[in-house]
């Protein structure tokens, strides 16, 4: 069996058992709901006592980051800068895309299965022994935060970078009482059903991570949000400092490791947080950090080496390069003719940023030469196993032979989100750049929300699945496309929207599974070998993770 076959890597049964155990903690209860006092947030302090982590946590030198957009990228930049500067780092982020261990990184690497299991069962067994009806087992994310504290204290990291999971005030990571420095990335509308319907309410939740005497940094925010952040900071007697976006000239010809113009905002915040951390921990000697004139070599290298899956990530489908047909003869597929552009954007603001990035990179004509852009694989070719040809459903493959490139959208989002807010920024931003999708594909997620994904891939031909939400998304998309076409007649040369009626484009389909959608894309690419197929995957980090699992296995 080849390395690319699904069965080549046998799952660790002990690891699978741990994932199943963790899954038992997943609950549908609303988090951070002010009506129930943050779902009994104070229980976090009792859990920490049960695990004897009070003193160890107090010794951690923590950087705490909240925000709507860019908090994960900011944390990734911070970790990379400080690791490149010679520090022993711990990074806790969420969500994970493929493996839960991605959430716990020590010195830039996800923790090993062996260590994960040791720390997991240590925490689990002690909590099971000491919890009861009055103090039940912690819920899923709270347990993961507790596990992160155990890992980072046991590994004796020099710095622990904590990304807030949701909100701030009642987030599990906010059990930290004395971080070294706090940061708030860009704010926008997300999780409004939990955090509030105005930017002011959302900012108030995020500002909940501010602590008396602890420096706080943010980026330029809308006035409504900035006023609330400043008010909260003032009440704690701290000044809120604004970190300016990084000037590209400060990189000395290098490029940020994370793609997108918006990353210069996150990089600027990361630099400010690192500088403050170095100053307050007495480590600043030898680092001349003046963002207005120059950056230390370690900072520049850290920014350039930063890596994060599922954010502005480009992955060519190696399946078309290496797949052999049934009689083991190589196919004639050309390298790079099916390329996935992945970004887990799931708010109107981040969707717009994602669309700008997608349009820019496809217009630049990125070349890959059949290599995966992912340091995990070190640029080597990998074999990706194909899916069953005996599909339960069949979709006609249009003729794209008249095109040099064809753009597709692969989309899903959570049902709590409004497609009428998410889809227009995507359609309009792409239209402004002259990019129009030939087809939008709507799919359900592969991963279950009530179970932590294992190494094993779900079935390619799942049983009956409820597609009502995907059909809702499709109707919203079709309506927006019809409206755009009707408004401009599809022919208005002065309009940003240009559609020729004789083109087989702007269609949509709902697929019952992600593997079926990817199979359709691969079949289309094979039947149109002269066309470069460019697929934007967005709307959900869960979807992005599912796609990565499928195309990299």
- Binding region for ATP: 311, 343
Write the CA distances from 241 to 16, 75, 214, 219, 439, integer angstroms.
45, 18, 12, 8, 45
ω into 95 cis (within 30 of 0): yes
**Which residue(s) pair with 104 in the sheet?**
92
Binding residues for Mg(2+): 94, 163, 191
**How much helix, strand and coil, in percent to the nearest 5, is found in the chain?**
40, 10, 45
Cβ-based neighbour number of residue 244 at 10 Å:
15
Binding residues: 94, 163, 191, 311, 343
Q: Give the span between the Cα atoms of 298 and 293, in whole angstroms.
A: 15
Write the CA distances from 423 to 191, 420, 444, 497, 542, integer angstroms.
17, 6, 17, 15, 18
Write the CA distances from 21 to 17, 117, 121, 140, 447, integer angstroms.
6, 11, 10, 10, 17
- What's the half-sphere exposure (Cβ side, CA atoms, 13 Å) at 523? 16
Q: Give the span between the Cα atoms of 26 and 143, in whole angstroms.
A: 10
Chain center to CA of 96? 8
Q: Give the span between the Cα atoms of 309 and 98, in whole angstroms.
A: 10
Q: Give the span between the Cα atoms of 34 and 59, in whole angstroms.
A: 30
Contact 512, 384 (CB under 8 A): no
Strand order in the sheet with 109-110: 109-110, 104-106, 89-92, 159-163, 62-66, 181-184, 216-218, 240-242
């Amino acid at each position: 069996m080849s390395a690319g076959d699904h069965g080549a890597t046998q799952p660790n049964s002990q690891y699978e058992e741990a994932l199943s155990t963790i899954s038992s903690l997943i609950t549908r209860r609303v988090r951070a709901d002010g009506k129930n006092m943050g779902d009994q947030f104070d229980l976090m302090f009792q859990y920490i006592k049960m695990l004897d982590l009070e003193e160890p946590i107090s010794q951690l030198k923590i950087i705490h980051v909240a925000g709507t957009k860019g908090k994960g990228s900011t944390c990734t930049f911070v970790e990379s800068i400080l690791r490149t500067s010679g520090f022993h780092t711990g990074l806790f982020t969420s969500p994970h895309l493929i493996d839960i261990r991605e959430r716990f990184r020590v010195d830039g690497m996800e923790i090993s299965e062996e260590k994960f299991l040791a720390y997991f069962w240590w925490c689990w067994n002690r909590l099971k022994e000491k919890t009861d009806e009055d103090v039940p087992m912690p819920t899923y994310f709270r347990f993961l935060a507790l596990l992160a504290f155990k890992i980072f204290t046991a590994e004796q990291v020099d710095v622990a970078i904590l990304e807030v999971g949701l909100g701030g005030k009642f987030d599990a990571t906010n059990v930290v009482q004395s971080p070294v420095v706090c940061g708030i990335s860009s704010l926008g509308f997300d999780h409004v059903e939990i955090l509030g319907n105005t930017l002011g309410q959302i900012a108030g939740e995020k500002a909940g991570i501010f602590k008396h005497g602890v420096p706080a940094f943010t980026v330029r925010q809308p006035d409504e949000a900035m006023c609330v952040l400043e008010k909260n900071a003032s009440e704690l007697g701290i000044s809120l400092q604004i970190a300016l976006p990084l000037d590209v000239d400060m990189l000395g010809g290098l490029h940020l490791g994370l793609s997108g113009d918006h990353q210069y905002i996150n990089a600027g915040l990361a630099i400010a947080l690192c500088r403050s951390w170095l100053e307050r921990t007495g480590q600043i000697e030898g680092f001349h950090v003046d963002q207005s004139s120059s950056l230390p070599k370690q900072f520049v290298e850290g920014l350039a080496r930063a890596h994060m899956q599922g954010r502005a990530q480009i992955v060519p489908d190696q399946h078309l390069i290496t797949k052999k047909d049934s009689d083991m003869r190589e196919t004639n597929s050309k390298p790079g003719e099916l390329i996935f552009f992945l970004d887990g954007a799931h708010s109107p603001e981040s969707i717009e940023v994602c669309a700008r990035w997608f349009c820019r990179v496809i217009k630049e004509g990125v070349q890959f030469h059949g290599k995966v852009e992912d340091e995990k694989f070190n640029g080597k070719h990998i074999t990706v196993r194909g899916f069953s040809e005996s599909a339960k459903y069949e979709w006609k493959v249009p003729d794209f032979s008249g095109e040099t490139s064809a753009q597709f959208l692969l989309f899903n989002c959570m049902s709590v989100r409004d497609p009428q807010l998410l889809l227009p920024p995507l359609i309009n931003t792409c239209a402004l750049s002259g990019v129009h999708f030939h087809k939008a594909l709507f799919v359900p997620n592969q991963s279950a929300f009530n179970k932590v994904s294992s190494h094993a891939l779900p079935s390619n031909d799942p049983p009956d699945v409820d597609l009502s939400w995907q059909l809702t998304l499709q109707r919203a998309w079709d309506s927006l496309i019809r409206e755009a076409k009707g408004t401009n007649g599809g022919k208005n040369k002065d309009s940003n929207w240009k559609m020729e009626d004789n083109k087989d484009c702007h269609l949509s389909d709902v697929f019952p599974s992600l593997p079926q959608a990817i199979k359709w894309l691969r079949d289309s690419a094979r039947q149109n070998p002269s066309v470069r197929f460019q697929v934007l995957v967005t709307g959900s980090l869960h979807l992005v993770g599912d796609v990565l699992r499928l195309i990299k296995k």
